[in-house]
Amino acid sequence: MKTFPSNLLLEIEKQNKKINPILFYGNEWGLISASINSVYNFLQKKLEIHDIKHFNYKNIKNDELKYILNDSSLFSKINLVILKGPQEKLITELENIGKIDNILIVNGENLQTKSKIISYFNNNKNFMGVPCYQLDKNYIKKTIDNFVKINEIKLQNEAYWFLVDNISEDYLTLENELEKLNYFKKTTISLEILQKLIAPKGGINNNGLFFKCATGDFKSVLQAISFVNKSINESYEILLSLKKFIHILSSAVVNKDRNNLDDLVNIYLPKYLFLKKEIFRDVLKKTSLNKVAKINSMLQKTEYLFRKNSEQHREVLERFLLNLTKIMR
């Protein structure tokens, strides 16, 4: 049975003393590690687990797994068995073993997406498969909501939505960034404080650069870029930020015939950028599908030039910004 990290403890709560074997898989090792710890802490209270035992599958000899999964303590309490590095023959072994007395957690961090083990755990009602990939916005929102509720932290509305849209999608970084909020427990955290406190997931906070281009002020755009554009990595981060807003603008323009401008602003503009509503509305009004096509074509060309002439990243980015400003004004 496939279940997601956010629902895992609820699924375990439905089970009695017999906890189905659980497979964690995906490329978000931080989430896998945190989820395993969460399950252990939860089960420790629910079942009084005697011990936690770690094994590497490649070091387990023939028929040894059967004894590991059914070996109990002197006090007849169950153990939590964490198995790392599973191979596909694990499926046959589990089917032959049948009854499992201990609780089995399989850490499938390096499994390929087409692995038969993943399919087996996801599609068998007596097993649980838990995908752990880059966090999506819903999971991030739930994590933030739980954190601020438990720690009694107050956020201004704009600050809250800035956090949802900008905090890292890496699980461990997400946790570390949220911990910073505890320094402001006795105050209501404003957008201004949060922008200084949280490291945005793109590295540099370049949200304002898109809107400088939108106002058509060439001088302001060049001044802004001169302060931050020092390396190829910074240029990539700036382009990534611009790409995000170009995508937002493109989506909004495509739907201009179905919604009025005010509705499009409310639907597509991130809530923490409420101060940019009028600029975004004006840009939408002036932008046609033809302009969107030109901007996206120019973006693709810029990405190509970055790869081909990385030593000239600054000149390439400046040319893109000036052309973008020219199209949008």
pLDDT tens-digit series, residues 220-246: 777 766 655 567 777 877 888 788 889
Mean pLDDT for 58-71 is 82
Residues 226 and 314 reside in one and the same domain: yes
Query: In this predicted structure, what is the pLDDT of residue 227?
Result: 56
Coil, strand, or helix at residue 24? Answer: strand
Task: Kindly report the CATH number assigned to the domain that includes residue 223.
Answer: 1.20.272
Residues 150 and 235 reside in one and the same domain: no
Among 9, 11, 16, smallest CA distance to 1 is for: 11
Q: How many CA atoms lie within 13 A of 185 on its CB side?
A: 8
The predicted-structure confidence for 109-132, as pLDDT tens digits, reads as follows 878 888 999 999 999 989 999 998
CA distance 284 to 56: 56
Residues 256 and 148 reside in one and the same domain: no
Whether the per-residue pLDDT at 58 is higher than 50: the answer is yes
Task: Kindly report the CATH number assigned to the domain that includes residue 176.
Answer: 1.10.8
Of 7-16, 140-149, 215-224, the least confident: 215-224
Number of domains observed in the structure of the chain: 3
- Residue 268 structure tokens: 């597509």
Task: Kindly report the CATH number assigned to the domain that includes residue 82.
Answer: 3.40.50.300
Query: In this predicted structure, what is the pLDDT of residue 200?
Result: 60
Terminal Cα distance for the chain, rounded: 53
Residues 9 and 116 reside in one and the same domain: yes
Residues 17 and 80 reside in one and the same domain: yes
Residues 189 and 250 reside in one and the same domain: no
Of 118-122, 152-156, 224-228, 269-273, the least confident: 224-228
Of 38-52, 80-94, 138-152, the least confident: 38-52
The last residue of one of the domains, among 145, 173, 197, is: 197
Model confidence at 74, pLDDT cuts 50, 70, 90, reads very low
Answer yes or no: is 75 within a domain.
yes
Residues 274 and 187 reside in one and the same domain: no
Residues 141 and 225 reside in one and the same domain: no
Residues 164 and 228 reside in one and the same domain: no
Residues 250 and 228 reside in one and the same domain: yes
CA distance 244 to 210: 10
Helix axes 313-328, 218-228, angle to 10 degrees: 150
What mean pLDDT, rounded, does the chain reach? 83
Residues 163 and 239 reside in one and the same domain: no
The last residue of one of the domains, among 110, 131, 152, is: 131
Query: In this predicted structure, what is the pLDDT of residue 293?
Result: 92
Answer yes or no: is 202 within a domain.
no
Domain that holds residue 125: 5-131
The last residue of one of the domains, among 99, 131, 163, is: 131
Mean pLDDT for 139-154 is 89
Residues 24 and 59 reside in one and the same domain: yes
Answer yes or no: is 226 within a domain.
yes
Whether the per-residue pLDDT at 204 is higher than 70: the answer is no
